[in-house]
Amino acid sequence: MDELKKAILDYVVHEYLDEDGDETITADTQLISGGIVDSFSMVSLKRFLEKKYAISIPDRDASPEAFDSVTRIAALVQRLQQGK
């Protein structure tokens, strides 16, 4: 797995999974539709990405669909980093 995905996955695991839970996730686990991250607590993930990757994620890109897996989030970050 590339570094970008790994960094995002590490953040998601630390930020959203229970310390004592038995849940494990991969880059393709559905985060929002799978009920792991809700739209209310998604804000910290957005803030983390913006800070770490020096990007600004416009509201229209911060959709539940775009944030639904680590793979998708990584794609979004890459696109914004390339200024598209």
Q: Which is nearer to other proteins, 1 or 56 (CB)?
A: 56
- Per the CB < 8 A criterion, the answer to whether 50 and 56 are in contact is yes
Q: Which is nearer to other proteins, 1 or 28 (CB)?
A: 28
How far is C-alpha 24 from the chain's CA centre? 15
Q: How far is the CB of 17 from other proteins (least distance, A)?
A: 9
Residues near other proteins (CB under 8 A) are: 16, 18-19, 34-35, 38, 40-41, 43-44, 47
Hey, what are 79's tokens?
Answer: 């696109």
Q: How far is the CB of 75 from other proteins (least distance, A)?
A: 25
